[in-house]
Amino acid sequence: MTAAQRLVAIGRFLVRRRGDRRWDLFLRSAGALAALGIPIVIAFPESVPLVWLAVLALPANSPLSPIIPAAFEPVIMEAAKYAAVLPVTVVALTAYLYMEFLNWHVYRWTLNRRILKGFRGKGWVSRSIEWFQAAPFWSVVIFAFTPLPFWAVRVVAILGAYSLTRFMIATAVGRFPRILFYAWLGAAFKVPTWVLAAVIFGSAAVLIGFKLARREPLLTDPGLDGAPAEDPR
The ranges assigned to domains in the chain are 14-115+175-213
pLDDT band at 182 (very low <50, low <70, confident <90, very high): very high
How far is it, in rounded angstroms, from Cα 104 to Cα 190? Answer: 34
For the chain, the straight-line distance linking the first and the last C-alpha, in angstroms and rounded, comes to 40
Q: What is the pLDDT of residues 31-64, one digit of tens each?
A: 666 666 667 767 777 889 999 899 889 888 987 7
Task: Pick the more confident residue, 218 or 99.
Answer: 99
Most confident of 61-65, 119-123, 129-133: 129-133
How far is it, in rounded angstroms, from Cα 78 to Cα 200? Answer: 12
Most confident of 96-105, 126-135, 152-161, 179-188: 179-188
pLDDT band at 229 (very low <50, low <70, confident <90, very high): very low
Q: What is the pLDDT of residues 67-93, one digit of tens each?
A: 899 999 999 999 999 999 999 999 999
Average pLDDT over residues 14-37: 58
Average pLDDT over residues 150-170: 94
Phi, psi of 124, rounded to the nearest 5 degrees: -65, -30
Q: DSSP states of 29-93 as a string? A: HHHHHHHHHHHHHHH-GGGHHHHHHHHHHHHHTSTTGGG-TTSHHHHHHHHTTTS-HHHHHHHHH
Average pLDDT over residues 122-143: 91
Predicted confidence at residue 181, as pLDDT, reads: 98
Average pLDDT over residues 141-168: 94
Task: Pick the more confident residue, 64 or 158.
Answer: 158
Predicted confidence at residue 230, as pLDDT, reads: 43
Q: Is it the case that residue 206 has pLDDT exceeding 60?
A: yes
| Average pLDDT over all residues of the chain | 82
Alpha-carbon dihedral 136, 144, 157, 27, rounded to 10 degrees? 160
Helices and strands (H, E) in the chain, number of each type: 11, 0
Q: Residue 191's Cα: distance from chain center in Å?
A: 25
Average pLDDT over residues 144-173: 94
